[in-house]
Chains A and B, each alone.
Chain A
């Protein structure tokens, strides 16, 4: 019930596809999706392996609530060792692929080894085959999905695939499903590429049942109704996540020009209002909003580019709708690189989906390259003749394509900020934690966010904690350790259910998750047990990282955020209090001053075997 109780294990080296029973003892300890996949990774991979080697394992995981009528039930996670950070990579995605994988009968799909030649995996319920991918290797995500559906004469198939970025090992390549939803961060697509696996194409017709259907549907109706009237839900539906760009601009927490500023003059040209305002040609960027599977929020933006814009005036193939600007894309292609051309941003967003790489890490790396360019460290000789100045929209769109194809300077950008800045002798310009680029929140204005970035197990990430409330109220590091740790555990639990993090901001309360899990899964799930499950997941991720060789020193922010005060906004004059917060955080977590879980903590969480 709720779990399919089945794992599909594929060994690409041997060319085998086998099913096995889901380890239900682990499922009751780690729930599903992020948590359960972490446990399987822990049991299957030596954390010290090279992320791009055949010894690494790539896990696609659904949760017990994936594919049910609970709102936002479309999530799946990809968990592996990450090539950008050398830490655990855990990246989740919406769209419709995750539910389809579950409907095919699998909680988890575990990929071992490396195929000698490019292949894709074709799954129709119990029938699984590894198929040569010669016809689609070297092509885009969009072409791959279209080709697979046509080739198998199965328009109801769902596809998760990589583009050339993943094939060629762009360190932050992602896995894209349903054309424009992605397991976006930490380079999970590069791991897939290293295994010579182009795509997973799946059709599932088996459905999902729950333990107590009547009680489950009561909770579903209650939560749907509550979300329907909830302000957070309405704002996400109407404005999408990009509503945040105005909030951060006003607050002074909007990283601009590689974190040299925290506010951006061009915000009005790329914010939600700009997305619905006709330009001089009467073109309106936003077409409609769109939901992922099972989602009653529908925060996704579907947009199109002005036909007369320089990016597509000679590229008619881009005159169509696709996934538009979410906040992180708007931030990473906007303020972070100083660009306010909404069509250029939208075009670059299309390219990241089409070629399959993470817009946040790309924007962060490009911003660092722009700073190097303006300092004169690199010149047009390095950058294929393109002037990499902040604010140059053409630099964004040309480099977005080059990075997607790993060509020319795009190959350098594909290394990510750390490796690129190291190469040019300026590691201080890489705005990263553990080698992963920051999301659109400045740690000087949002202190708890900084702590969350520094301690996130997959490197800088805004989605693994929620300290937003305390951060807006108080701009010091005081008292941030507790809400940071507590919310990290909560999110780890939520990420293990199969639901979307945004459900919590759109009206679902912590108790609702408990009720959904209990009625769906059966057993004695209560609030405490679920919270502890989240804490268990977090600590196991941490143990993976420690074994992978990461240390306390990796829980840190770049000097710019610790030493250079915010130049404007509500946090003007402030730097990050990270050095004060970290010891408090370790102590509250039950870790040693070196950031290692104590024996008592591991015992309490049942992680001490």
Chain B
């Protein structure tokens, strides 16, 4: 079963534990500036929205890469960057419609979410379950269930 990150902005408190966990997992340092997931705050903090790569089925970043540094990991379904191959041309950062692939000047390569090889650190670190790692084919399950309950009353 492939899994995917499921993000529920309503539960996010903007604590940035996910950003620290991401940078620690990938760079060995607590540094939100090197995080693959970002929290965006709006309206004086009334809304906070975690945002990262959705691992597109038709991944534009992957198609745009001239040196084939981006490949799909069949085990996790994540699009991963090979640092040995990446030349830092940044074309993938332009191709991505969501901005979730970014250049990292200290390594000279691009960085993006790779689902931590199937055990994403952000989801583990999130204290409110705003980020969870669930069945990729059923990311809507909980919301569907909630709608079912509210539409038909509580099941007996």
Give the interface of A toward B (CB within 8 A): 67-69, 71, 96, 99, 103, 156, 178-180, 204-210, 213, 217, 224, 228, 287-296, 298, 300, 302, 304, 320-323
Q: A290-B14, A295-B15, A298-B15 are in contact. Are A69 and B46 (CB under 8 A)?
A: no
Among B33, B45, B46, which residue has its beta carbon within 8 angstroms of that of A207?
B33
Contacts of A294 in B (CB 8 A): 15-17, 20
Known interface pairs A69-B17, A289-B13, A320-B46; 7 further A-B residue pairs with C-beta atoms within 8 A, sorted by A's residue number: A69-B21, A207-B29, A208-B30, A208-B31, A290-B13, A290-B45, A296-B15
Chain A CB within 10 Å, residue with most, of B15, B21, B128: B15
Residues of B within 8 A of A289 (CB): 13
**Interfacial chain B residues near A71, Cβ < 8 Å:** 17, 127
Q: B151 at interface (Cβ–Cβ under 8 A)?
A: no
Is there contact, CB below 8 Å, between A291 and B30?
Answer: no
| Residue B92 interfacial (CB < 8 Å) | no
Sample (14) of A-B pairs whose CB atoms are under 8 Å apart: A103-B32, A179-B45, A205-B33, A207-B27, A208-B30, A208-B31, A209-B29, A224-B125, A224-B127, A288-B47, A289-B13, A293-B15, A294-B17, A298-B13
Contact of B34 among A68, A96, A207, A295 (CB under 8 A): A207
Query: Closest Cβ of chain B: how far from A450's Cβ, in Å?
Result: 35
CB interface residues, B 58-115, toward A, < 8 Å: none
A429 to B: closest C-beta gap in Å: 36
The smallest C-beta distance from A103 to any residue of chain B, in angstroms, reads: 6
CB distance from A413 to the nearest CB of B (A): 26
- Who on chain B is nearest to A213 by CB? B28
CA distance A314 to B138 in the complex (A): 48
Nearest neighbor of B125 in chain A, beta-carbon distance: A69
| Smallest Cβ-Cβ distance to A295: which chain B residue | B15
Given contacts A69-B125, A209-B30, contact A96 B46 (CB under 8 A): no
Q: How far is the CA of A291 from the CA of B125 in the complex (A)?
A: 14
Check: B24 CB closer than 8 A to any chain A CB.
Answer: yes
- Of the four ranges (under 10, 10 to 19, 20 to 34, 35 or more), the interface on chain B belongs to 20 to 34
| Pairs A-B, 10 closest by C-beta atoms | A207-B31, A321-B46, A205-B33, A291-B15, A207-B29, A298-B13, A296-B127, A291-B13, A322-B44, A290-B45
- Other-chain contact of A293, B16, B31, B46 (Cβ < 8 Å): B16
B57 to chain A, nearest CB (A): 30
> A299 to chain B: closest CB distance in Å?
10
Give the A-binding residues of B (Cβ under 8 A).
13-17, 20-21, 23-24, 27-34, 43-48, 125, 127-128
B18 to chain A, nearest CB (A): 10
Residues in B with CB closer than 8 Å to A293 are: 15-16
Q: A210 to B43, alpha carbons, bound, how many Å?
A: 34
Contact B44 A291 (CB under 8 A): no
B44 near A302: Cβ-Cβ < 8 Å? yes
Query: Given A213-B28, A224-B127, A288 and B46 touching (CB < 8 A)?
Result: yes
Q: With A69-B30, A228-B127 known to touch, is A302 a contact of B16 (CB < 8 Å)? A: no
Give the most central of B13, B21, B29, B47: most A CB within 10 Å.
Answer: B13
Query: If A179-B44, A179-B45, A180-B44 touch, does A207 touch B16 (CB 8 Å cutoff)?
Result: no
Taking the nearest CB of chain A, how far is it from the CB of B127, in angstroms?
A: 4
Contacts of B45 in A (CB 8 A): 178-180, 290, 300, 302, 321-323
* Complex interface: chain B residues within 8 A of A320 (CB): 43-44, 46
A122 to B118, CA, bound (A): 40
**CA–CA, A291 and B32, complex, Å:** 16
Residues of A near B27 (CB, < 8 A) are: 207
Minimal beta-carbon separation of B33 from chain A (angstroms): 4
CA distance A304 to B45 in the complex (A): 12
CB-based contact B48/A290 at 8 Å? yes
A191 CB, nearest partner CB in chain B, Å: 26
Contacts of A224 in B (CB 8 A): 125, 127
- C-alpha gap A321/B16 in the complex (Å): 21
**Complex CA distance for A291 and B27, rounded to whole angstroms:** 25
CB distance from A431 to the nearest CB of B (A): 32
Contact B43 A321 (CB under 8 A): yes
Residues of the A chain whose Cβ atoms lie less than 8 Å from the Cβ of B44: 179-180, 302, 320-323
> How near does chain A come to B149, taking the closest CB pair, in angstroms?
22
Do A291 and B24 touch (CB < 8 A)?
Answer: no
